[in-house]
Each structure stands twice: as structure tokens, then as C-alpha cells.
Amino acid sequence: MMTEQEVKQLLIDTEAILEGHFLLTSGLHSPMYVEKFNVLQHPKYTETLCKELAERFRDQQVELVIGPMTGGILLAHEVGKALGTRAIFTEREKGVMTLRRGFKIEPGTRVLIVEDIVTTGGSVQEVVNVVNNSGGEIVGVGLLVNRSGGKAEFGVPMDKVQALLNLEVPTYQPDACPLCQAGTPMTERGSKHIK
Ligand SMILES: [Zn+2]
């Protein structure tokens, strides 16, 4: 079993978690930036994390794994592979999260929902709605990273929710940013290639 610290270290090593002094699109400053595809671009690490996620739900008799486009597709595939189940994904059609491509959830199917990083939980809530509307039975929600500070709720009991990593991402107003006050230059985000 991987500890949260081991998961965090893998994300740091692959630069999925970047540390420095970042200007966010919101205008806020942060000592941390999360770029999930920096880890998901490595199939072997995605597999490692998804096997770990799968183990957390091994005894739940999962019959179907589902995740939201885009990262959720990779996760559902790898978790489904580890559990020996079908794996499908939701996507938005005219802004509404839905099942396309002939994907079906039969009523009573035991469904595990997976997602990479949860900030507000909005996408997961939409997948929950899709599964509930199909009559599927949600047996769990598996997350790589929950950065909501425990605030995200999806209409699923919290004892069914598992995150490999709970991550606090501090943000500061520019005029109250301790990194600015320390004179730390802004971090340039370029792409480095990690093996
Ligand atoms: Zn700053």
C-alpha cells in the first residue's frame, strides 16, 4: 500500500506537483502548481497509481468503472484493468455530462467512479448524477488527489470516498503573498522531460 507521502513524492518527481512561486489564472499567488498530465503522461506511473486505487475498492464487487473526460478516461481504463471490469467515461454534450458512444449502465450495476484531481467536485457530482439517473449503484468514488480541503461533496457518503492524496494548495492575494515579501521570483513554467 502506498502512503500519502509516497504518492505525493511520485507527483513531485514527475512534476505533477510543482513547487515555487506561481501566478495562477485567478490572479492569486501560490507556492504550488498542479499539472496532472505530467504524471498521467507516464503509463507506468498511471498504472501504479490506478492499481493502488483499485486495491482500495477490491472488496466492493465493482462491476463497472467510470470517469469523466479527459483524465478520468485514463484512470477508468487502468482501474478497470486492475479490477477486471468494464471501463467507460462520461463527456459533455451541449454542456451536459452524459454517456455517449453506446455506453450503458444497466440498473443495479455496481459502479466505481474515478477522477484524477478534485478541486470543487463539480465533475464528479455530474458523473454521480449520470450513474444515479441510469439506476447504477455507486459503491465508491476513487480520487488520485483531493485538493478541496475536504469541502468537495458529491452526494455520496464520505466513507465511500477514497483519495490517494489529500493536498492543501495555499493561495495568496498578491499584496499578502509571503513569497513576494521574501523577494522570491515568479517561477517560469516550462516543460522538462522526466524519465
Ligand atoms: Zn507572490
pLDDT at 190: 56
Does the predicted model carry a pTM greater than 0.95?
no
Give residue 85's Cα distance to chain centre: 20
Ligand 1 center from residue 3 Cα (angstroms) = 31
CA distance 130 to 134: 6
Ligand 1 center from residue 71 Cα (angstroms) = 29
Ligand 1 center from residue 167 Cα (angstroms) = 20
Interior/surface letters 119-129, b for 16+ CB within 10 angstroms, e for the rest: eebebbbbbbb
User: 10 Å Cβ neighbour count for 150?
Assistant: 11
Ligand 1 center from residue 179 Cα (angstroms) = 5
Burial of 192 (0-12, 13-18, 19+ CB in 10 A): exposed
What is the DSSP annotation of 94-132?
A: TTEEE--TT----TT-EEEEEEEEESS-HHHHHHHHHHH
pLDDT at 131: 97
pLDDT at 191: 47
pLDDT at 53: 97
pLDDT at 152: 83
Q: Cell numbers at residue 52, please? A: 493502488
Pick from 68, 185, 45, 156: which is nearest to 116 by CA?
68
Q: Cell numbers at residue 79, please? A: 482501474
Ligand 1 center from residue 173 Cα (angstroms) = 8
- Per residue of the chain (195 residues), give pLDDT as tens: 899 999 999 999 999 999 999 998 889 999 999 999 999 999 999 999 999 999 999 999 999 999 999 999 999 999 999 999 999 999 999 999 999 999 999 999 999 999 999 988 889 999 999 999 999 999 999 999 999 887 888 889 989 999 999 998 899 999 999 999 999 999 977 544 444
Ligand 1 center from residue 190 Cα (angstroms) = 18
Q: State whether the Cα torsion 89-91-93-97 is positive or negative.
A: positive
pLDDT at 1: 87
